[in-house]
Structure 1
Amino acid sequence: MQSPTVGRQRPKDRKDRIAQVAAELFCEQGYHGVSLEEIAGVVGISAPAVYRHFDSKYAILVAAGRGLIDATLTATDLSSSEDAWLDLEALLAALARLAVTHRRTAGLYQWQWRYLTDKHDAEFRADLEVLFRRIALPLLNERPELGVADAEAITRATLSVFGSLATHRAVIAKGKAEQLLHRAGRAVMQASPPTPISGLELGVLPVSVPIGARREIILAESVRLFRLYGYHEVNVELIGHASGINASSVYRYFPGKADILAAAFYRASERVTEATAAALSGARDDADALRRMIESYVELTFERSDLVTVYLAENNNLPEGDRHELRKVQRLHVEEWVRLLVAVRPELTASEARVLTHAALNVVTDLSRWVYFDRRTGMNRHLVRLMGVVLNA
């Protein structure tokens, strides 16, 4: 009896389909949490069939990242239109459509750099420079008072607004999401630039050894390493070395690496809860409470930038029970922002307020990966204003 697959042609777009499915799974579960078998199962093929198109999971990651970047460059290529390079509105509209269309895969931009080889990292960065120029040039034309560094800072913040839609699952109509993101992106482009002082980029400043109990040192060093390299690229030996002890000594304080990550998440959750309670307790009214929430979030990010970044980036690597519990806490925290924003801006629906809240929070998170959060940069004051700009868009 002839196999039903004999004589059947493979779809011409199967390679693209594999990359698309993989991108969605990587964003949902993390790169290391996805197997080739799982990718193949969703596509509807066998795992060996994947190897007809890609020689490894890493090759699929590169293809998925390339697909996202190519789609972005295609969407923002307005060269066929006369004076299109001057048209910021057309670019904002294109970015808003792109954010909505690629919502399930755009999260690759936030963490894929950790896993890329130097070669692919350089290639992707070169393409991102093209995107930056496409936005910065018309911005400089519209606002000639800005310097190049100012335009770059505003461009980064603007892209963070659009990228924020991929960081959450809040339900909102596609058309409304595009309108909100377009409006928020435009507001950021008209805002004061969050420009850091030269020489204070992340990785330039020396890393100091934290002082405190041994368990706290291990936790602090683990969080720093998780942020720099990603959870799966850090082992207990590296944590022990950074903490000034042998790897075996780490186990006196934590049963395993997953327990260190969970402890970091619970610590971050406690800090967020404490900061929220402090902001709300002395507020005169909802508008004052929202202002205090903005200030407390930026302050927390400055004081605990490694912790906040890991808290937002490493959910998928938590033990399942901890993951569900902490995501519940995260949702409750966001809902407090939504409640206040709707109270201050009653013309917004809860879903609209939720999208703006995530956009404002994402701007701070994204920029924290770009520049070391040192008060000498004035970034804390800039980001307080910028969060207000996004929430009021």
Structure 2
Amino acid sequence: MTTAVTARDRAKAERTDAILVAAAELFAARGYSGVSLEDIGAAVGVSGPAVYRHFAGKQALLGALLVGVSERLIDGGSAVASVAGSSLARMRGLVSFHVEFALGNAEVIRVQDRDLAHLTEESRADVRRLQRAYIELWIDSLAALVPDDRDALRMRVQACFGLINSTPHSTSTALRRHIDTSRLLNAMALAALQADG
């Protein structure tokens, strides 16, 4: 038997999502240690204690943010890989997916890079497990295009992530508007992945 979703359930889910978005923006701007639950609550129009209705505390909120984004990456990447018709189409699809993710989630990438150490051991292990699965998905796809061993393919994939993930917060918004950032990043990433050794 399924339970109908009520308006109250929807409102709570929307507030939870808003808290996660606000937390990502604030953590990215000030770092995990520079943000309080009161700051996050104020950003979404509730008191700090009201945030506890959604998350057990600031560390749990960080865990939900970073584990959640890792789940989105593996789910989205798997969906892209499953529908591609050829090896090259699969790789292009993965690159395009990751570029769009990086351009749309610069704050979360910054938080991941800087504040991973603040996670609980369990959440950190979950993030690492999901990241490894995402990397393996890319390696499996790249192996059909580049005749290299898995260690070399892993290096290519991780270097590609570095290229893509650095761009949203290493260039200005004005510059990203001036050039077709997505198209350029796609071309650069594909070239880097398949570069002659």
Question: One fold, TM greater than 0.5?
Answer: yes
TM-score, with length taken from structure 1:
0.44
Does 1 or 2 have the higher relative contact order (CA < 8 Å, sep 6+)?
2
CA distance in 2, matches of 1:303, 1:283: 23
CA distance in 2, matches of 1:372, 1:281: 35
- Is it true that 1:361 corresponds to 2:161 in the alignment? yes
Q: Match of 1:338?
A: 139
CA distance in 2, matches of 1:237, 1:295: 37
CA distance in 2, matches of 1:324, 1:237: 28
Stretches of structure 1 that go unaligned for 5 or more consecutive residues are: 1-211
Q: Match of 1:371?
A: 171
2:89 to 246, 266, 288: 288
Q: Match of 1:275?
A: 76
8 Å CA contact retained: 2:81, 2:90? yes
CA distance in 2, matches of 1:372, 1:343: 36
| Structure 1: 4+ residue segments shifted above 4 A | 372-375
TM-score, with length taken from structure 2:
0.84
8 Å CA contact retained: 2:135, 2:157? yes
Q: Match of 1:205?
A: none
8 Å CA contact retained: 1:299, 1:380? yes
Closer/same/farther in 2, CA of residues 290 and 341 from structure 1, 3 Å limit: same
8 Å CA contact retained: 1:268, 1:308? no
CA distance in 1, matches of 2:173, 2:137: 25
8 Å CA contact retained: 1:236, 1:257? yes
Instruction: Give the AA of the match of 2:72.
Output: R
- Is it true that 1:308 corresponds to 2:139 in the alignment? no
Q: Which has the larger radius of gyration?
A: 1
Instruction: Give the AA of the match of 2:27.
Output: F
| Equivalent position SS for 1:268 | helix
Instruction: Give the AA of the match of 2:20.
Output: L
1:202-241 residue pairs with structure 2 within 5 A? Answer: 213-241=14-42
The Cα of 1:371 is off from its aligned counterpart by: 3.1
CA distance in 2, matches of 1:326, 1:382: 29
Closer/same/farther in 2, CA of residues 372 and 258 from structure 1, 3 Å limit: farther
CA distance in 1, matches of 2:15, 2:95: 33
CA distance in 2, matches of 1:372, 1:255: 36
- Is it true that 1:322 corresponds to 2:123 in the alignment? yes
| Equivalent position SS for 1:213 | helix
- Structure showing the higher helix proportion among its residues: 2
